[in-house]
Amino acid sequence: MTTTLAQVDPEIAELISAEKTRQADNLRLIASENYASEAVMEASASVLTNKYSEGYPGRRYYQGQDNVDAIERLANVRLRKLFGAEWSNVQPYSGSPANLAAYLAFCDAGDTIMGMGLPAGGHLTHGWNVSITGKYFKSIAYGVTKTDHRIDFDTIRSLAKEHRPKLIFCGATAYPRTIDFGTFRSIADEVDAILVADIAHIAGLVAAGVHPTPVGTAQVITSTTHKTFRGPRGGMILCDKVHAKAINRAVFPGLQGGPHNHTTAAIAVAAKEADCPEFKIYGAKIVENAKALGEALLGYGFSLITGGTDNHLLLADLTPKGIGGKPYAQALEKAGIVCNYNSIPFDPRKPFDPSGIRLGTAALTTRGMGVQQMTQLAGWMNEVAQSHEDETLQARIAGEIKELCAQFPAPGLPLS
Ligand SMILES: *Cc1c(COP(=O)(O)O)cnc(C)c1O
């Protein structure tokens, strides 16, 4: 019965192996990505995937839950301690379902909600029109100011007073600055809305204490577990105890069936890893690297939205470099630098061919790279921007990057 993946399905085995090499040999700057630890991957690839566990610990609909109950309890105990939260739910399948659970807990279809618009850096699930959250709810989008591209609280306050939303989402997917949860909460209180802080991108920074926490300020906190938090692909919700029942019911049976127990176990492992002094250092280094990369890029004449960063990500406007975000991201990939093209606030170009790229430093920091490597990276990025059709240049840089990567092995990946 012991047959390896390579024996059963050589095609998939080969593709996974190629992906390992890709993740090992390239500089991964997609701001939502990271390298999970080998311990996290071991838990998430375990026999727990075989078990069905509808319900919550101690209140399941199937037998045989002793181990799974203990695992889910541990995940919750660790997360509540780590974030100082009264309540947690680790069952959402990912960040988007965690957000849907917040809607289901507090809204009826057709209710008014507010969230940051996608073009300003918000997430699809904060009410954008192509998402179910923009179709089933009356969604009012807010954004950033035209002048400094920071969150526009004056407009948010007046929109909230005009439309009286039931829920206000804060948090973003492409916003390089600290989120002021306190001001959001004061606006929510003025209109009796519930504030949901979506910390999908910054959960690791919050856990490390390098971004202010929304715990104690937002009534509900949603997140992924796989971005800066460095856990498995998954979701979680933290909330005050008064909302525990509503959140639990919304996740199950409101939205989902059986929880992904292998993911729950891996979240527990990630929470343990994050509750260590090393993780605080890790979080601080992510931010230090993002600032260093930003400074170096500014030095090469790049333009950064808001002029820099407070967190793990940078949003660069390529207009001064005379190249679109998409062809630049494609050229960078050929040079071994992987990021995504991204709209910038008030982008004159179309979403599929926008002016910017988004860069994040979580994955490189996991590999142990520091300020020196960020400076080197900015130099390569500048070279590619100067002649983005030069394939010889791209191949040369890709080779140099492969050598650099070999000095900074990533968890669980081969060195080629
Ligand atoms: C990534 C992200 C999500 C969605 O997470 P998925 O796991 O991709 O569903 C939700 N909100 C924000 C702010 C995000 O950045």
Same domain? For 117 and 132 the reply is yes
Q: For residue 153, is it within any domain?
A: yes
CATH number at residue 290: 3.90.1150.10
Query: 285 with 269, same domain?
Result: no
One domain, residues 296 and 332: yes
Please give the pLDDT value at position 1: 64
Of 226, 259, 274, which residue constitutes the final position of a domain? 274
Catalytic residue flag (residue 224): yes
95 close to ligand 1 (CB < 6 Angstrom): yes
Same domain, 107 and 237: yes
- Alpha-carbon distance of 339 to 218, in angstroms, equals 31
> How much distance in Å is there from the Cα of 68 to the middle of ligand 1?
26
> Is-catalytic flag, 245?
no
Both 302 and 161 in a single domain? no
Q: Which of 20, 164, 233, 280 is catalytic?
A: 233
Look up the CATH number of the domain holding residue 231.
Answer: 3.40.640.10
Residues 202 and 283 in one domain: no
Query: What's the chain look like in SS3?
Result: CCCCHHHHCHHHHHHHHHHHHHHHHCEECCCCCCCCCHHHHHHHCCHHHHCCCCEECCEECCCCCHHHHHHHHHHHHHHHHHHCCCEEECCCCCHHHHHHHHHHHHCCCCCEEEEECHHHCCCHHHCCCCCHHHHCCEEEEECECCCCCCECHHHHHHHHHHHCCCEEEECCCCCCCCCCHHHHHHHHHHCCCEEEEECCCCHHHHHHCCCCCCECCECEEEEECCCCCCCCCCEEEEECHHHHHHHHHHHHHHHCCCCCHHHHHHHHHHHHHHCCHHHHHHHHHHHHHHHHHHHHHHHCCCEEHHHCCCCCEEEEECHHHCCCHHHHHHHHHHCCEECEEECCCCCCCCCCCCCEEEEECHHHHHCCCCHHHHHHHHHHHHHHHHCCCCHHHHHHHHHHHHHHHHCCCCCCCCCC
Q: 53 CA distance to ligand 1 centroid (A)? A: 25
- Whether 91 maps to a domain, the answer reads yes
Residue 22 lies in a domain: no
The rounded Å distance from CA 189 to ligand 1 centre is 25
Does 125 contact ligand 1 (Cβ within 6 A)?
Answer: yes
242 shares its domain with 283: no
225 close to ligand 1 (CB < 6 Angstrom): no
The answer to whether residue 204 is domain-embedded is: yes
Position 27 in a domain: no
What is the domain extent for residue 336? 278-407
What's the structural domain count of the chain? 2
The residue out of 274, 291, 312 marking a domain boundary is 274
Q: What pLDDT score does 238 carry?
A: 98
pTM of the model: 0.97
Indicate if 327 and 269 belong to the same structural domain: no
**pLDDT score for 412:** 87
Q: Which residue has the tokens 């931010």?
A: 287
For the Cβ of 124 lying below 6 angstroms from any atom of ligand 1, the answer is no
Decide: 173 in ligand 1 pocket, CB within 6 A: yes
Answer yes or no: do 285 and 217 share one domain.
no
Q: Are residues 295 and 400 in the same domain?
A: yes
Among 226, 244, 274, residue at a domain's last position: 274
Task: Say yes or no: 380 and 354 in one domain.
Answer: yes
Of all protein residues, the one whose alpha carbon is nearest to atom 5 of ligand 1 is 95
pLDDT along the chain (416 residues), means of 10: 90 97 97 98 98 98 97 98 98 98 98 97 96 97 97 98 98 98 98 98 98 98 98 98 98 98 98 98 98 98 98 98 97 98 96 96 98 98 96 98 97 78
CA 290/CA 13 separation, integer angstroms? 35
Residue 231 sits in the same domain as residue 264: yes
The answer to whether position 198 is within a domain reads: yes
Is residue 81 among the annotated active site residues?
Answer: no
